[in-house]
């Protein structure tokens, strides 16, 4: 089988796309799965097709020696362009000085503080002190949003359903803040308002019974009626807790209004809905669609953007949907892409506002090998290198649980 295979691992004509013959000496540089069964001369299966190469090397340290004994010098490997989430996180940490990421501890603190505020509110109906702390956390998050185009890599994943509302609040804060920075460049005050507003937007859910809030599946119309009260309850609670900024209160009250007037609680239309609430509405729906819940899988960000675009001008403000498209529509952070030189990688963000040429963390070089040290290429600076296709989404990149324990 190995005869005629080039030693550089290039594809022989008959092999499927993405499959390369890898010499045993180089096996540990590659990530992928065995593309065919490896058989002994008498037809017994020695290694099974689909086996993960890294796992195989780990589980069977003597496997290379055995393969040599069986005179198998090359293995057909289907190269994996992706990395595991743990690996991705480790790589990002290694290169952190090169890209400005949201501080994970700051993110964790914000989530915990939202949690704390919710529990005080569910007991006492207001939380002046908690909201004050949250406002300071929002200010710090807003600073990171302003300086970090990679912010969307930091959208968190939900560990359990109890945590959903808190992580969702952080995600809406980050995305709303980022959309604000695209819509009104240089308006840092708006970013701050949107970040704080995002953290508070579902505050009223602190008063919605948990069975309804975390119900796996569709709500009855009665339950939905209770759920809808969170918009007004949240506003009342925010005012009782000392929030007086009308822009922030409008986010809490009106983030479920829809452009053509069929939202709640006030049925406002078009520009009668505050700019801030219109931004939060888009961020809220985007994060809900791309989040995993017990009753649904997350959908890819590109698909979420398409769905939201279909309602542009009917449910959502078209200008804000455009900003979302610019932010996450083309190659959102986390997209796995193939480059024109045959290498593959994961989009980490856009540096120079050129959406076609984002920054890419290289996960497989031109020969399919994993670079020995983390390598980021800024395509806006690499004249002849471009994306040829998008392979898959890694979804949301970073979990805060891991970072928080440190
Ligand atoms: Fe809401």
Q: Give distance in angstroms: CA of 204 to centre of ligand 1.
A: 8
Q: Give distance in angstroms: CA of 164 to centre of ligand 1.
A: 12
Instruction: Work out the pLDDT band at 352, boundaries 50, 70, 90.
Output: low
Q: What is the pLDDT of residues 381-399, one digit of tens each?
A: 888 899 888 776 554 444 4
The burial class, CB within 10 Å (0-12 / 13-18 / 19+), for 226 is middle
Q: Give distance in angstroms: CA of 69 to centre of ligand 1.
A: 63
Q: Give distance in angstroms: CA of 180 to centre of ligand 1.
A: 19
| Residue 199: CA count within 13 A, CB half-sphere | 32
Residue the block writes with tokens 């007991």: 123
Q: Give distance in angstroms: CA of 134 to centre of ligand 1.
A: 18
Q: Give distance in angstroms: CA of 186 to centre of ligand 1.
A: 28
The predicted pLDDT at position 58 comes to 85
Q: Give distance in angstroms: CA of 230 to centre of ligand 1.
A: 7
Q: Give distance in angstroms: CA of 255 to centre of ligand 1.
A: 6
Return the closest-CA partner of residue 268 out of 302, 307, 231. Answer: 231
Sequential DSSP letters for 81-143: ----HHHHHHHHHHTTTTS----HHHHHHHHHHHHHHHHHHHHHS--HHHHHHHHHHHHHHHH
Cis previous bond, 399, omega within 30? no
Cα–Cα distances (Å) from 401 to 8, 158, 277, 387, in that order, read 41, 9, 29, 32
Q: Give distance in angstroms: CA of 334 to centre of ligand 1.
A: 26
Contact 45/38 with Cβ under 8 angstroms? yes
Q: What is the DSSP letter of 8?
A: T
Print burial letters for 149-188: b (CB count within 10 Å at least 16), e (below 16). bbbbbbbbbbeebebbbbbbbbbbbbbbbbbbbebbeeeb
Mean pLDDT of 124-142: 94
Q: What is the pLDDT of residues 139-162, one digit of tens each?
A: 999 988 887 656 666 566 665 667
Q: Give distance in angstroms: CA of 197 to centre of ligand 1.
A: 12
Instruction: Return the SS3 of 70.
Output: coil
Residue the block writes with tokens 């400005």: 100
Q: Give distance in angstroms: CA of 124 to centre of ligand 1.
A: 21
End-to-end CA distance of the chain: 49
The predicted pLDDT at position 403 comes to 28
Q: Give distance in angstroms: CA of 256 to centre of ligand 1.
A: 6
Q: Give distance in angstroms: CA of 272 to centre of ligand 1.
A: 19
The predicted pLDDT at position 392 comes to 63
Cα–Cα distances (Å) from 347 to 66, 322, 371, in that order, read 38, 20, 16
Ramachandran class of 50: left when φ > 0, alpha when ψ lies in -120 to 50, beta otherwise: left
More confident residue, 219 or 43: 219
The predicted pLDDT at position 388 comes to 87
- Residues 6+ positions from 330 with CB-CB distance below 8 Å: 355, 356
Q: Give distance in angstroms: CA of 101 to centre of ligand 1.
A: 27
Q: Give distance in angstroms: CA of 192 to centre of ligand 1.
A: 19
Q: What is the pLDDT of residues 14-42, one digit of tens each?
A: 445 568 888 888 888 777 889 989 887 78
Q: Give distance in angstroms: CA of 352 to centre of ligand 1.
A: 34
Q: Give distance in angstroms: CA of 171 to centre of ligand 1.
A: 13
Cα–Cα distances (Å) from 80 to 3, 14, 137, 274, 370, in that order, read 24, 19, 39, 46, 10
Which of the given ranges, 64-68, 143-147, 274-278, has the highest pLDDT on average? Answer: 274-278
Q: Give distance in angstroms: CA of 27 to centre of ligand 1.
A: 50
Q: Give distance in angstroms: CA of 144 to centre of ligand 1.
A: 24
Q: Count of residues for the chain?
A: 406
Residue 118 pLDDT exceeds 80: yes
Residue the block writes with tokens 């900003």: 323
| Residue 35: CA count within 13 A, CB half-sphere | 18
Output the pTM of the full model.
0.73
Interatomic CA distance for residues 295 and 217, integer angstroms: 6
Angle between helices 128-147 and 104-124 (to 10 degrees): 150
Q: Give distance in angstroms: CA of 406 to centre of ligand 1.
A: 32
Residue the block writes with tokens 């300071």: 136
Mean pLDDT of 95-121: 80
Interatomic CA distance for residues 88 and 111, integer angstroms: 22
Contact 290/329 with Cβ under 8 angstroms? no
Q: Give distance in angstroms: CA of 158 to centre of ligand 1.
A: 17
More confident residue, 367 or 351: 367
Instruction: Return the SS3 of 160.
Output: coil
Cα–Cα distances (Å) from 320 to 150, 184, 370, in that order, read 19, 11, 39
């Amino acid at each position: 089988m190995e005869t005629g295979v080039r030693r550089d691992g290039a594809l022989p004509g008959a092999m499927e796309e993405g499959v390369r013959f890898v010499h045993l000496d180089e096996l540990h540089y590659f990530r992928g799965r065995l593309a065919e069964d490896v058989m002994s001369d008498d037809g017994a299966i020695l290694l099974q097709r689909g086996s993960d190469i890294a796992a195989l090397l780990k589980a069977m340290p003597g496997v290379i020696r055995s393969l040599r004994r069986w005179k198998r010098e090359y293995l057909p490997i289907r190269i994996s362009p992706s990395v595991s989430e743990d690996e991705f996180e480790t790589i990002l940490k290694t290169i952190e000085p090169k890209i400005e990421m949201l501080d994970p501890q700051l993110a964790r603190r914000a989530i915990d503080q939202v949690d704390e505020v919710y529990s005080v509110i569910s007991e006492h109906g207001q939380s002046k002190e908690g909201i004050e702390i949250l406002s300071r956390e929002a200010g710090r998050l807003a600073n990171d949003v302003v300086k970090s185009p990679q912010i969307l890599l930091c959208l968190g994943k939900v560990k359990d359903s109890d945590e959903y509302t808190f992580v969702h609040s952080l995600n809406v804060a980050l995305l709303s803040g980022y959309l604000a920075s695209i819509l009104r460049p240089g308006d840092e005050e708006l970013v701050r308002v949107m970040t704080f507003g995002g953290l508070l937007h579902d505050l009223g859910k602190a008063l919605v019974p948990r069975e309804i809030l975390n119900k796996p599946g569709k709500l009855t119309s009665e339950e939905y009626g209770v759920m809808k009260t969170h918009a007004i309850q949240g506003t009342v609670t925010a005012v009782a807790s000392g929030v007086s900024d009308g822009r922030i209160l409008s986010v809490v009250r009106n983030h479920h209004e829809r452009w053509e007037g069929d939202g709640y609680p006030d049925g406002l239309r078009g520009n009668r809905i505050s700019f801030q609430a219109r931004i939060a509405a888009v961020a809220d729906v985007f994060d809900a669609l791309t989040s995993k819940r017990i009753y649904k899988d997350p959908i890819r960000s590109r698909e979420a953007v398409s769905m939201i675009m279909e309602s542009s001008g009917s449910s959502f403000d078209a200008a804000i949907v455009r900003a979302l498209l610019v932010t996450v529509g083309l190659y959102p952070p986390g997209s796995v892409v193939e480059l024109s030189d045959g290498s593959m990688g994961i989009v980490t963000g856009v540096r120079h506002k050129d959406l076609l040429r984002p920054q890419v963390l290289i996960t497989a070089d031109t020969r399919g090998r994993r670079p020995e040290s983390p390598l980021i290429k800024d395509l806006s600076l690499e004249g002849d290198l471009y994306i040829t296709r998008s392979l898959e989404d890694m979804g949301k990149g970073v979990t805060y649980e891991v970072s928080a324990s440190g």
